[in-house]
Homo-oligomer: A and B are copies of this chain.
């Protein structure tokens, strides 16, 4: 028995999240507030069990297929870790080593890798519109193959980042805040600055800031979004974030002044991203195979970026926040740090160093976010199962 664990289960008992079973997790905005609350409770409960050395294996065998269409360390290890925690074996679909034929349909590949897959995790964040479309197609493909009796069960999907959302990252972010502030309801009324920051590279994904504004506003946090002129996010998501804020009784402001966004903030999350319009243009250039156009766009974006080197998270800026240097600074990592990874970047090294411990803790929740998504999709009565796992009491690591 563990009071904290019991409290998680008790809260879980008050929520309705039955639709998550046998479903996918593509965007936080596909989910109800109850479902998201359940996600954080299950993630914390799984962490609690693991930290008490209690095994949370619910699979005796089974595959967790990953498909990373872009390089990844953090998310790759989070997926490997979270699935291993539940007893699954990660199997990577490495498209470069695979015989995925020219013209082979998504449905075919998806079905071929799924005969013994319990979960499929996909990262596809490079081109506007494509990542989401690809994931939806994989999800509907395996659904169809299941209904046709080809698959004996339906592998569920987890988005490991698309062009619009990065739900395992923002869920890890929220789990970190929940644990720092002592509960989800403690976040209500807190001011968060989600701002652009300068980076010497270009074309960083929009999904990180979008994921944040879409999630934080739902739980009553006052979000100030700020970026230079022209660095807009996807307009429909910005609009929906405003609606979420209105619903939850919070505020959502947009501006082009980093300092104003930092003013009085309880949490700051400055990070580089590419302008939405430019990313749409890039997607079209790639589709047209226009190498010269892509190159010109890159040069133009780098030049445009370079005019905004003042968008940096400095000690001076931190002074404007609610708790000065002690205000929570967050980043999905790796960050572009002045004088460390580049001359000018997203953050001064003094600020980064002072918040290193918190940043690493933030990242530590991602494997649990992954595991909780899968747990909720694969277990009919998660509350009862968590209790049963505690009672079963199998040691994860027999050290004595």
Given contacts A55-B60, A57-B60, A363-B112, contact A337 B103 (CB under 8 A): yes
Task: Return the CB mask of A363-400 against B: 1 if under 8 Å, else 0.
Answer: 11011000000000011110011000000001111111
Contacts of A221 in B (CB 8 A): none
A301 → chain B closest CB, angstroms: 19
Rounded to whole angstroms, the CA-CA distance of A183 and B56 in the bound complex is 41
Contacts of A80 in B (CB 8 A): 63, 89, 91
Task: Return the CB mask of A91-119 against B: 1 if under 8 Å, else 0.
Answer: 10100011111111100110111011110
B72 touches A99 (CB 8 A): yes
Nearest B residue to A77, CB-CB: B113
- Does A81 lie at the interface of the complex (its beta carbon under 8 Å from any beta carbon of B)? yes
- Does A18 lie at the interface of the complex (its beta carbon under 8 Å from any beta carbon of B)? no
Flag the segment in A144-152, A229-237, A283-291 that touches B. A144-152
- Does A341 lie at the interface of the complex (its beta carbon under 8 Å from any beta carbon of B)? yes
For chain A, which range describes its interface: under 10, 10 to 19, 20 to 34, or 35 or more residues?
35 or more
B84 touches A63 (CB 8 A): yes
A56 → chain B closest CB, angstroms: 8
Rounded to whole angstroms, the CA-CA distance of A62 and B86 in the bound complex is 10
Number of copies of this chain that the complex holds:
3
- Does A59 lie at the interface of the complex (its beta carbon under 8 Å from any beta carbon of B)? yes
Nearest B residue to A55, CB-CB: B60
Contacts of A81 in B (CB 8 A): 63, 115-117
Nearest B residue to A86, CB-CB: B61
Contact of A340 among B60, B97, B103, B115 (CB under 8 A): B103
- Does A182 lie at the interface of the complex (its beta carbon under 8 Å from any beta carbon of B)? no
B399 touches A378 (CB 8 A): yes
- Does A85 lie at the interface of the complex (its beta carbon under 8 Å from any beta carbon of B)? yes
A76 touches B103 (CB 8 A): no
Nearest B residue to A97, CB-CB: B71
Contacts of A108 in B (CB 8 A): 333-334, 360
- Does A90 lie at the interface of the complex (its beta carbon under 8 Å from any beta carbon of B)? yes
B341 touches A60 (CB 8 A): no
Rounded to whole angstroms, the CA-CA distance of A68 and B397 in the bound complex is 26
Contact of A397 among B91, B111, B378, B381 (CB under 8 A): B378
Per CB-CB distance, the 8 closest pairs between chain A and chain B, nearest first, are A103-B341, A101-B334, A81-B116, A73-B98, A55-B60, A380-B400, A150-B360, A71-B99
State the A residues within 8 Å of B (CB). 50-51, 55-63, 65, 68, 71-74, 76-78, 80-82, 84-87, 89-91, 93, 97-105, 108-109, 111-113, 115-118, 145, 148-152, 333-334, 336-337, 340-342, 357, 360-361, 363-364, 366-367, 378-381, 384-385, 394-400
A-B contact pairs, 12 of them (CB 8 A): A50-B116, A58-B397, A59-B396, A60-B397, A72-B99, A76-B97, A77-B93, A101-B336, A104-B334, A111-B360, A112-B363, A150-B360
